[in-house]
Chains A and B, each alone.
Chain A
Amino acid sequence: MKRTADCIIVGGGVIGCSLAYYLAKRGMTNCVVFDSSYLSSGATGRCGGGIRQQWSTEPNARLAIESMALWEGLEEELDRDIEFLQGGYLVLGYTDDDVRQFEANVELQRSLGLDVEVLTPSEIPSRAAPGLDTRGVRLATYCPSDGSANPFLTTQAYADAARRLGVEFELFTPIGRVLVNNGRVAGVETGRGTISAPIVVNAAGSHSLMIARTAGVELPITPWRREILVTEPLERFLDPMVISFSFGIYFRQTRHGAVIGGFADPQEPPGFDQTSSLDFLTTMCRKLTRLMPRLRTVKVVRQWAGLYDVTPDAQPILGHVPEVEGFIQASGFSGHGFMIAPKVSSLLAQLISGEEPDLDIDRLNVRRFSDGSTAGERSVV
Chain B
Amino acid sequence: MKDDVVICRCEDVTYGQIIEAIRSGLTTTEEIKRVLRCGMGPCQGRTCSRLIARIIAEECGRPASEIAHPAVRPPARPMEIGILTGEDDEENR
Contact = CB atoms under 8 A, between A and B. Distances in A.
A276 B74 contact: yes
Contact of A296 (B34, B37, B92): B92
A256 B92 CA distance: 28
Contacts of A45: 34
Interface in B57-93: 71, 73-75, 78-82, 84-87, 89, 92-93
Given A38-B30, A153-B35, A296-B89, A301 B84 contact: no
Interface in A140-156: 152-153, 156
Contacts of B81: 231, 285, 288-289, 295-300
A281 interface: yes
Interface of A: 38-41, 45, 152-153, 156, 230-232, 256, 276, 278, 281-282, 285-286, 288-289, 293, 295-304
Nearest to A169: B25
Interface of B: 28, 30-31, 34-35, 37, 40-42, 44, 71, 73-75, 78-82, 84-87, 89, 92-93
A297 B80 contact: yes
Contact of A303 (B74, B87, B89, B93): B74
A282 B86 contact: yes
A244 to B, nearest CB: 18
Give the dominant DSSP class at B's interface: loop
Contacts of A256: 37
Nearest to A45: B34
A38 B35 CA distance: 12
A298 B71 CA distance: 23
B80 A299 contact: yes
A39 B28 CA distance: 11
Nearest to A292: B81
B78 to A, nearest CB: 4
B82 A289 contact: yes
Contacts of B73: 276, 302-304
Given A289-B92, A298-B80, 9 more contacts: A38-B28, A152-B35, A231-B81, A289-B85, A295-B81, A296-B80, A297-B81, A301-B40, A301-B78
B71 to A, nearest CB: 8
A152 B32 CA distance: 11
A39 B75 contact: no
B59 to A, nearest CB: 17
Contact of A299 (B31, B71, B79): B79
A124 to B, nearest CB: 21
B85 A286 contact: yes
Nearest to B34: A152
